[in-house]
Amino acid sequence: MNAFQYATAHSTDSARELVASNGVYLAGGNDLLGLLKDYLISSPEILVNIKSLPGLDKVARGGKVWTIGSLVTVAQIEDDAEIKKVFPGLHEAASEVASQQIRNVATVGGNLAQHSRCWYFRHRDTVCLKKNGDLCYALNGENRYHSLFTGNTCISPVVSSLATIFASLDATAIVLREGKETRMSMAELYQRAWENPLAHNSLNHGDLILRVEIPTARARSAYLQVSDKHAFDWALVSCAAAAEVADGKLKSPRVALGSISPVPHQVAAANSFLDGKILDDAIATQAADLILKDAKPLEHNGYKVPMAHALIRRTLLKLKGDA
């Protein structure tokens, strides 16, 4: 790791000024410090500690919209009894992130902004497509953990558990960009990674995630994932679903998959199909068929298709509750 300066910002304006053209923000640091130690990002001149920025470590509870600051830790979400009641899927997703020690320091913003976990990207001696190389080695190499859907020649998927549940809840990320607040859906927050093999998300240098706004319209939500290990592991596949349920019928349902695409994967036709339906296994199966019908499995990740199919069915059926 090369030498760098370190400074603490006490306002968003000072954070932006300190980051300037060759600095990076530091919150929990779980992903950033690993990237620095392995020389996977350009050596910054300065690390800007943002943990003292006012108000970003708060959860604001409203009737129609809740706001979760980007410095709220994953453990805070997991331990918040009211979040568990209002957004059960968010509580479930938070509880699946890494280990308890990591959840205690990992932040919402960091979870959303983390870089690719592809082992070709993470290997310091491999210059893959995402590191300005000429080739995605995973395409014809070991692609067990990679995408079933992509819009470019990089098949590294988004692995943020929170992005998956936020997508199903129609949450919006508020990003400070060039001094102005920009609203981005979860799809927009990752769209650049769908289009550009060099991108991990749609954030520009100096962009700072301030908070996430979550509408309360979908009172039922659920999250499930499958991992190689029971704890402290990224999902092989994750699924989140959210909807309002009235008279047993789904209203404005959303289903999102993680770890199978560079973006939280949603299919509008499946959401439309589910709208107004009374859930049972047959309906959930048809929705899973729609969501996965264009999947393009590779040599080693074909197992993700039946795994995702099962997760979609099980996650959707969790929405039934007592309806």
Provide the pLDDT confidence category of residue 323 given band limits of 50, 70 and 90. very low
pLDDT tens-digit profile of 29-64? 999 999 998 888 888 999 999 999 999 999 999 999
Determine the Cα–Cα distance for residues 23 and 1; give it in Å rounded to an integer: 15
pLDDT tens-digit profile of 207-244? 999 999 999 999 999 999 999 987 788 999 999 999 99
Q: What dihedral do alpha carbons 193, 285, 316, 103 form, nearest 10°?
A: -40
Provide the pLDDT confidence category of residue 312 given band limits of 50, 70 and 90. very high
Tokens 């923000």 belong to: 25
In which residue ranges of the chain is CATH 3.30.390.50 found?
Answer: 59-114+154-318
Q: How far is residue 14 from each of residues 7, 25, 46, 108, 180, measured CA to CA in Å? A: 10, 12, 13, 21, 14
Q: Which H or E run includes 307?
A: helix 304-318
Q: Which H or E run includes 48?
A: strand 46-49
Tokens 């959860």 belong to: 59
Reported pTM: 0.97
- Residue 274 burial (10 A CB sphere; 0-12, 13-18, 19+): buried
In which residue ranges of the chain is CATH 3.30.43.10 found?
Answer: 1-54
Length of the chain: 323
pLDDT tens-digit profile of 116-136? 999 999 998 899 999 999 999
Percent of the chain with pLDDT over 90: 92
pLDDT value of position 308: 98
Q: Which fold has domain 59-114+154-318?
A: Enolase-like; domain 1 (3.30.390)
- Residue 62 burial (10 A CB sphere; 0-12, 13-18, 19+): exposed
pLDDT above 90 (res 290): yes
pLDDT value of position 229: 86
Answer with the residue of higher pLDDT: 230 or 164. 164
Show the DSSP H helices in 137-229 as ranges.
161-168, 186-195
pLDDT above 90 (res 156): yes
Give the mean pLDDT of 142-169: 97
pLDDT above 90 (res 139): yes
**C-beta of residue 201 within 8 angstroms of C-beta of residue 112:** yes
CATH classification number, 1-54, choose in 3.30.200.20, 3.30.390.10, 3.30.43.10, 3.40.50.720: 3.30.43.10
